[in-house]
Amino acid sequence: MVIESFVSPVEAEKQPWKLLFLGLLYALVGVFLAQMVFAEQASLVMVFFTTMACIPLMHSTMRLEEKKDTLLISEWRILNEHRKAIVFFLFLFFGLCLGYTLLYVLLPESFSSNIFAIQSKTIYSINSRISGSFEPNARFFFEILFNNFKVMIFCILFSFIYGSGSIFIIVWNATVISTAIGNLIRSSLVSQGIHQAVSYGFMRYFTHGIPEVTAYLVAGLAGGIISVAVIRNDIATEKFEGVMLDAAELIALSVAILIVAAYIETYITPVLF
């Protein structure tokens, strides 16, 4: 109960930028411990260690957000309060990506190839499904959208079943995106220089990655709120109707954001990068 207790949800809402450094710390500690204890399986174990550090904050946030549902009447005020939680979790995600990317780029290739082995295989598997030249069209749009919807559903289910389960998916996505960014930075260093390579790497994947992760966080928040309400036996009270209404609105918002993210990834990102 040390690094996971640095920031409370209330403090995080007031100073969300702190979560950037917390995410960076979680990533570095997770990789260090995974490499020390389970070197051969470090690429997956680091995800679990980082997730373990994030769970207390995620669980406390779910309880706080569910409480807001029962105390606030205005739907606009409730959504505005949820926005604060989404913002500081985005900062946490940025911090995780920064930490993992730094390690991927700065560590010797022999170390990074082992630490990010599963992530690299995942990226290769995704890229292999898109053979030849990529031409933006409706087929790719719906394929991307369908895959993102599956992740969103897992976020809802994981949060409902495990309370804070969606944070595992968020951390996993952070490791995969960071591996892709790190690989792009390494390959661009010679031709573009350090500043351009770093900017290009992050912008290439964050352009559509930010709305995607935002949608997953919103969906995870919806599932977590329902989970907390069930645990607190609010299901037998009138408050549960408001909780379910709020969760439905969050899921609808998540769907809308994913549609925008899929459009950006299909038609805008390839043009810009």
What does each of the 273 residues of the chain score in pLDDT, given as a tens digit? 555 566 778 888 888 899 999 999 999 999 999 999 888 889 999 999 999 999 888 888 888 877 776 676 566 777 777 888 899 999 999 999 999 999 999 988 888 888 999 999 988 877 666 544 456 678 889 989 999 999 999 999 998 888 777 899 999 999 999 999 999 998 887 677 788 888 888 998 999 999 999 999 999 999 988 888 777 766 666 677 778 888 899 999 999 999 999 999 999 988 887
Nearest to 94 by CA among 181, 36, 35, 9: 181
The whole-model pTM stands at 0.89
